[in-house]
Amino acid sequence: MKKLKKVLSITLVFILLSGICGCAEKQTPSNMVKNYLEEVKKGENADFSKLLNENLEKEDGKAEEEKTKFDESEKKMINSMNKLTYKINSENIDGDSAVVNVTATAPDLAAVIGEFLPKAISVAFSSAFSENNASDEENKKMFDNILSECLDNVTLTERTQDIHLEKVDEEWKITDGNEMAKLLANIDPSMFNLQK
């Protein structure tokens, strides 16, 4: 009787596991892009936050703790993504490569940066010629406030982008983060790479 209970228990576990695995959503390139966009929309995508930080920080050899952090404005950027809407237009799979075409209505962060830069440059020149020299921390806070104010006026714009994916270890992965940045923020990160 004990062996029968044990066999029934093990069989029940396998049946439940196969039911759960069988009901799981098939991983397609479109589903991968959809899941990525849903995470961004919820503010749960660490890759997108990292992408924002890489584009906002100047990589000039400073130690990690000394790099400029835009705390308030970064939160506003991530929160602005909850207004994201998107439509997956098409999916083309060619072996282990795929292209998913997506139309998104998302915050236009290029316009925000266009508003931020002249203000930041003006403040930087004013500070440079001022008798009161602000500390690095005060400057960081000042620039964060300027960017945060610019983000209060962020608008949503529609854009369409091809997202390239590659199958690695039976999972679809986005191969070019720049494409996602263009789609989500209207920013081409390659423009910030001045080392080429």
- With bands split at pLDDT 50, 70 and 90, how would you rate the model's confidence at 33? very high
88 versus 51: the higher-pLDDT residue is 88
Q: Which helix (H) or strand (E) holds 24?
A: none
- With bands split at pLDDT 50, 70 and 90, how would you rate the model's confidence at 28? very high
Work out the angle at residue 186's Cα, subtended by the Cα atoms of residues 180 and 187, and round it to the nearest 5 degrees.
Answer: 80
Average pLDDT, the chain: 78
**Portion of the chain with pLDDT greater than 70, in percent:** 71
Lowest mean pLDDT among 22-31, 51-60, 70-79, 154-163: 51-60
3-class secondary structure, 186: coil
Instruction: Answer yes or no: is pLDDT of 63 > 70.
Output: no
3-class secondary structure, 58: coil
DSSP state of 169: T
Mind listing the pLDDT tens digit for each residue in 82-107? 999 999 999 999 999 999 999 999 99
Q: Which helix (H) or strand (E) holds 164?
A: strand 156-168
Lowest mean pLDDT among 45-59, 82-96, 103-117: 45-59
Count of CB atoms within 10 A of residue 186's CB? 21
| Contact of 163 with 180, CB cutoff 8 Å | yes
Q: From the centroid of its chain, how far is CA 79?
A: 11
Among 28-32, 124-128, 139-143, 187-191, which range has the highest average pLDDT?
Answer: 28-32
| Contact of 161 with 176, CB cutoff 8 Å | no
State if pTM tops 0.95. no
